[in-house]
Amino acid sequence: MLLAIDVGNTKVKAAVFENNTFLTKEVFNRSEFIPTVEKIIKKYPLITSMIVASVGKMDKSDFLHFKTTLKVHFISNDNRFPFQNLYSTPKTLGIDRMVLSAGAVLFYPKHNRLIIDAGTCVTYDFIDENDGYRGGAISPGIRLRYEALHNYTANLPLISKEEPDHFIGNSTNQSIHTGVINGLTYEIDGFINTYSNKYQNFIIILTGGDADFLAKRLKNTIFANQNFLLESLNQLYQYTKND
């Protein structure tokens, strides 16, 4: 069994896999890492390996705490990936984006793929049908947009994510909701339309913490999967475990 760990900017996500079967998932704060992983290992004693993709600030010693019982694999830019990295600054490409791109290649061979990860930031990653990673875009996620409106103005309140009642906001709060949620929805649809007009044989994968919230609002046909990064980690482990 494999324990896949995704350390994001906000939360840690952990999933247990038996070969390609997804067994369970936990989401928790970084401060809860060791006790939560200990609980998972106790429940699934056949776990033999841990694979880690981290973009958040977390001490490596937390993972190495388990090195006596598990083989700990850290994903880095030096790993072997199933695509050619054509980014002009390949060493700066985030590990999360590389893992998602690997998953897209391994799950959907011989397609043009756009992966949209809607988390703290929204990242767009495009891998062509010849498995060339071309690049993409980064923009603020839903939470950052709400916080920016509050932090960089004098009077706008900080409010929580909410479905807009109408495309015309009839109060300050509703105007913020429609601006943030509809603005991001239009952005995503706009990116998808731009790519799909240029590339045939095209697949869009939407993932991240806000994937389900956004999926029902998008006009385009997508594969929405909140767990795609964890599943991609498992696929990448299978791809590289004999290295």
- Per residue in 106-157, pLDDT (tens digit) is 999 999 999 999 999 999 999 999 999 999 999 999 999 999 999 999 999 9
DSSP label of 117: E
Tokens matching residue 170: 């009839």
96 a catalytic residue: yes
Contacts of 39 (CB under 8 A, 6+ apart): none
What local confidence, expressed as pLDDT, does residue 56 receive?
75
What local confidence, expressed as pLDDT, does residue 173 receive?
95
- Angle formed by the axes of helices 142-151 and 183-198, to 10°? 130
Q: How many residues does the chain have?
A: 243
* Burial class of 175 by CB neighbour count within 10 A (0 to 12, 13 to 18, 19+): middle
What local confidence, expressed as pLDDT, does residue 243 receive?
63
3-state SS class at 6: strand
Distance CA 63, CA 67 (A): 7
DSSP label of 179: I
Strands (DSSP E) contained in the chain are 2-7, 12-18, 21-28, 49-54, 71-74, 84-85, 112-118, 121-127, 132-140, 202-207, 223-224
Beta bridge partners of 125: 115, 136
3-state SS class at 63: helix
What local confidence, expressed as pLDDT, does residue 203 receive?
94
Query: 220 — phi, psi (to 5°)?
Result: -85, 155
Report how far apart, in Å, the C-alpha atoms of 174 and of each of 17, 24, 168, 216 are: 42, 37, 8, 19
What local confidence, expressed as pLDDT, does residue 242 receive?
64
Query: 182 — phi, psi (to 5°)?
Result: -65, -35
Distance CA 113, CA 121 (A): 19
Distance CA 7, CA 1 (A): 20
Query: What are the pLDDT digits (tens) for 59-114?
Result: 888 899 998 999 999 998 888 999 999 999 999 999 999 999 999 999 999 999 99
What local confidence, expressed as pLDDT, does residue 224 receive?
92
Q: Look at residues 54, 231, 203 and name the one whose alpha carbon lies nearest to residue 116.
A: 203
* Amino acid symbol at 113: R
Query: What are the pLDDT digits (tens) for 10-39?
Result: 789 999 999 889 999 999 998 899 999 999
Average pLDDT over residues 228-242: 91
pTM of the model: 0.92
Distance CA 135, CA 31 (A): 33
Distance CA 53, CA 102 (A): 12
* Selected catalytic residue, list 59, 62, 78, 96: 96
What local confidence, expressed as pLDDT, does residue 93 receive?
94
Please give the distance of CA 203 from its chain centroid, rounded to a whole number: 16
